[in-house]
Structures are given as C-alpha cells and as structure tokens.
Structure 1
Amino acid sequence: MKGISRRRPTYKYRLGKIIYGLLVTLILASCGINEARTPEQWFDFTWSGLAGCDTLTFRGLAALQRGNRQGLEESFSYTGRLQEHRELSIRGEPMGQRAGNPAGHLQTAGLAEPNGWEAKLRLEHGNWLVQSDDHNALLQGVVRLNPLEQLEEIRMAAKKTITSESGAARGTKVLRIEMDPAEATMRLKDRLLSEMELTREAGLAQLEQVPASQKEQLRNELSQIWTTGSKQLAVMLKQMKATVVYHLTIDRKSGLPSRLTSETTLNYLSPKGVPQREVLRTDNRFEGYQ
C-alpha cells in the first residue's frame, strides 16, 4: 500500500499543476492579445491611456538642419509639465548655435529666443492654445514642439500610415507613423501664415508705445518689412512640400507612451528660386504619469 500511495499524486500536487497550467494559459493568452493588435489599435490603445492621465512631464530636444551641411546647425532643449489634464507649461533654452549665426535659424523660424522662453498652453476643444494676450509668433511656434499636440494631430489626421517597427527594446512596442504629405503640408502652411499675421500684430502693438512724432514713419517702415516678408513667405509656401514621420515607443506594461520622435522635412524655393531643404527633428521622453 505504501508503494501505491507514493505513486499517486497528492491532491495538493494535482491542484498545483492545474494552477500552473492556468497561469501559463493566461500568460500566453495575454501575449496573444497584445500581438493580435494592429498598429492602428496600438495607437488607439496608448491614446486612451494617455487621455486618462491628469499629470505627466516630458523632456525634449529639438534640432534644425539646413541644406546638406554636415552636423546639426542649431539645437535646444525643453521640458514640459501637464497638470489637471489641460494645463501645460513648456520651458526651453538654446543649447548652442553655430559660429557666425548669432540670431539663429530657430529664432527666425519662431522656435527660440536668445535667453530661452516659457509658454503656457491650455487644451480647449482638442487644441492646445497659448494662454497669452501677447501677439507673439514665438509662443505660437512652440505648439509645433508640444508632443501632446503632435499626438493629437496624429489621432485627428484623416490620412496616415502606421506600421510596427522590428527590433524594439524588451517590454516596448514601437510604431512608425507617416503623415499624409498633402495634409501635413497644408497644416504647416496654415500655421506659418498664422504666425506671420501674429508678427504683424505684434509690431502694431509695439508701435503704440513709441512717441507720436515717430509713429507714422515707423508704421510705414513696419508695413514695408511685413509686405516684403509676406511676399517671401508666399513664394516659399507656393512650392513647399512637407513630409512628417513619427516614431512612438509604447510601454507594453502600462500602455502609455515613453518616447516620441519626429522628423519634419521641408523642401521649398527661396525668393530667388533656389531649392532649399530644412529638417526639424524632435525627441521627447515621457515620465511622471499620474
């Protein structure tokens, strides 16, 4: 009888095997569910998780390269903090600029200031709006760097191509998102025109602070400058083509974004008809989710 009892599995042993089998089944099923998601479903999944967060922080780097020059022409870092789901503050500071370029192309592009900048934005009806009465094109340009705005644009885009990238780090999912060139070009054109108008309004607002004896002369000079700049912008926008590609890294465990990079390439003609090329790259890392 003793020999027979040793050969028979005990109740606890059988129960342990059953529980172990169930755990393995659940793990495999969970993996299967994750892998069964399409790239589009992965984006919707992480967007839903992000939409439920009231607080987060991010740190980013933006770099601008012009033409076929080697190396980065100019770059700066920035940080952002989201509070109460709708209130966002972004601070940026230039990291350096090339010799012989004291003004910097990021400044002329409305993306930087010599001493850095700070912008406060609020989410209203799906759009991040700058909370300032100042007609400042720079602050409006900051919206282009806001990774939360970029994710919103991806979600709202009528046309986009989302694919899965191979070789993702353990525990992550990486999506490659290419925006429709025509839609991306139109969106950027609208923003540049809006920023140009804000530049004019800012000049007129400052004009009110000068002595009356100088106001008329300065008004004429400002009008000439704005007219020239507007014509140059019109020439650039007429032939401009934009391509925008994002790479979104998702934490599989939390389902939340951990990193978002973007590469925006612009091809256009200068006022003299010379082909020009600009590439703006951003790299944002998210943390502090609550």
Structure 2
Amino acid sequence: MGAMKIPVLSHKQGLSAVAALLLLSGCAAPGGRPAAEELNLALAGMDGKDAVTFEGSAALLIAGKPVPESALYYGGKVQDHSRISLYSLLPDEAGETRSVPVQGVKKSGRSKAAAPSFYTKLEKKNGEWQPQQSGEAGRLAGLNPLQQLEELQKPDTQVTEESGSSGGIRVLRIRLSPAEAKRQLSEELEREMQAIRQESVAESAGQTAEVREAMDTLWTQKSRELKQRIDEAEVTSVYFMKVDSRHSLPKRLTWTRTIRYPGMTDPADGEAYVTKVDFYGYQ
C-alpha cells in the first residue's frame, strides 16, 4: 500500500468469498461489532477508495535484539487498487534516514541526513503483484501493504480485539494458522531465491561453463538447506490492525513473523521480522 506463489483473489472477489467465514471467526466487543466483521468492513472500506498513501518501517530482530543493518523505511501510494509506487530508504553511515520525494509522494521528514533510495512500481496482473524492476528494487515487493492486507483474508485466520480500544479506534489482532504462516514464509523465500538465481545467471554470463555449473550447484545446495530449515521451524505470523471504526478504514497495520528452530528452549530466542505501515490521505 525489514525477504511463493498461489492465486490471490482481487479485493472485491476476496472480500465476497471470505466474508462469511471471517464473520464466523471473530469475537464481539461489548455492544460492538464482532472483531472479524470490523476487519471485513475495514478491508471493504479500503477497497472503496481510489487511492491511499502509506509510510512504514521494517526490521529484523534476533534473540530479541534488532539487527541495525536490517532497518528499512519505506512508503508509497496505491492507485486504482492495482498499481503501487513504492520507495525505500536505507540508513546512511550515521544510521539516519531521510525521505526523498518520488512522483508526488509526501516527505516523511525523518532527518536531515541523506540516504540511498530504491524505487519500484508494482502492478497486479492475473492475481499476482509484479514489480517492474528486478534486483534490490524488485525485492521491495515484499513490503507491498496491499499484499499484506490480502493475507488477512485467509479463511482460517483467528480475529480478536485487543483491550484498550476507544475513541472510534479499534485494535484487531489477526493470527494466521501455523500451516498458513509457514506457507507464506516458504513462498516469500522461494521468490527471493529465484531472484538471486536470476542475478547470478546474469552475472556469470561471461564465465566458463565450469564456473556457471559451480554457481548453479551452490545455489541448489543453499536452496535445499534453506527449505529444510523452514520445514523444521516453528513459524507464527500475527497482525495488529488499528481501525478507524467511524469510517471503517485501516489506520495502521503491524505485522510480526517469528521463526524458532528446533533446540531453542528460551522463548526469547529465534528470529522476528517486524513491519509497521501507516495509511493516510484516502481519496
């Protein structure tokens, strides 16, 4: 709207297809709509808007501690539900970032320091989000907030409401099933590995056949090892959505994916990927 393909329903198809299931899965706040119904209305409200601007951040935590070089800020704009402009910022040597306006995207004004920026456009075709650029820019596709919202439309999600919601704002907790969380991760990693392979093939075009074969063998080996680790891992995927219930629109979506491997006894161990994205400027 901070690294796998199944058919993804369009917003309208997805909302109509899973609305009943969502309504069955939620809990109602006293005197309020069921949490899953609130989620359904927020997704429908988003679908009814022609454009929305967003800004967010992503980071990786290992054993509860953030990995500084993984910190990433991003933003962009959604238009006509199927086109997204997306930019990212990477920390400079001082660890600071600054938003660079891209095609009318609003400044975030995070600091005065300059930072390298990547930019890409995504378009949804045949149910799949496709980036127009490859490499680092193409990998921004994983930060696509609309794709994250589509994940919430899975029929086996658990939707509840967090305490403390007030003033026309409700906070919903959406948890994917363990099987769906692992599938989601596996597909994302598969996309990443395929992108790496394509880059490797391009870089080795001028090398000898022996070098190309060695690189292909290495890629196959690492891909197999990665898949095995994921098969053995415990994966959880939990979203929190802050909803403006007066207008039935998402205001913020926070997502935490936690991966724990066999042998980890401390609950604080493992890896956690966390993203947060704010939505504003609905049109």
Same fold flag (TM > 0.5): yes
Mapped pair 1:55 → 2:13: no
Q: Which amino acid aligns with 1:247?
A: F
Q: How does 1:1-290 map to 2 (within 5 A)?
A: 35-68=31-64, 70-73=65-68, 74-95=70-91, 115-132=116-133, 134=134, 136=135, 138-139=136-137, 141-155=139-153, 157-208=154-205, 210=206, 214-268=207-261, 277-290=270-283
Q: Residue 58 of structure 1 contacts residue 286 of structure 1 at CA under 8 Å; is this kept in 2?
A: yes
Q: Residue 75 of structure 1 contacts residue 97 of structure 1 at CA under 8 Å; is this kept in 2?
A: no
Alpha-carbon distance between aligned partners in 2 of 1:189 and 1:158, rounded to the nearest angstrom: 19
Q: Structure 1 residues 75 and 207, CA, compared in 2 at 3 Å: closer, same or farther?
A: same
Alpha-carbon distance between aligned partners in 2 of 1:56 and 1:264, rounded to the nearest angstrom: 25
Identity of aligned residues (%): 31
Alpha-carbon distance between aligned partners in 1 of 2:54 and 2:181, rounded to the nearest angstrom: 24
State the TM-score, normalized to the length of structure 1: 0.71
Q: Structure 1 residues 57 and 165, CA, compared in 2 at 3 Å: closer, same or farther?
A: same
- SS of the equivalent of 2:247 reads coil
What is the alpha-carbon root mean square deviation over aligned residues? 2.8
Alpha-carbon distance between aligned partners in 1 of 2:31 and 2:276, rounded to the nearest angstrom: 26
For structure 1, list consecutive stretches of 5 or more residues without a partner in the other structure.
1-33, 100-113
Q: How far does residue 170 in structure 1 lie from its aligned partner after superposition?
A: 1.7
Q: RCO higher in 1 or 2 (8 Å CA, sep ≥ 6)?
A: 2
Aligned length: 232
Q: Residue 88 of structure 2 contacts residue 140 of structure 2 at CA under 8 Å; is this kept in 1?
A: no
Q: How far does residue 257 in structure 1 lie from its aligned partner after superposition?
A: 0.6
For structure 2, list consecutive stretches of 5 or more residues without a partner in the other structure.
1-29, 96-114
Q: How far does residue 71 in structure 1 lie from its aligned partner after superposition?
A: 4.4
Q: Which amino acid aligns with 1:242?
A: V
Q: Which has the larger radius of gyration?
A: 1
Q: How far does residue 164 in structure 1 lie from its aligned partner after superposition?
A: 1.1
Q: Structure 1 residues 248 and 80, CA, compared in 2 at 3 Å: closer, same or farther?
A: same
Moved more, 48-57 or 166-175: 166-175
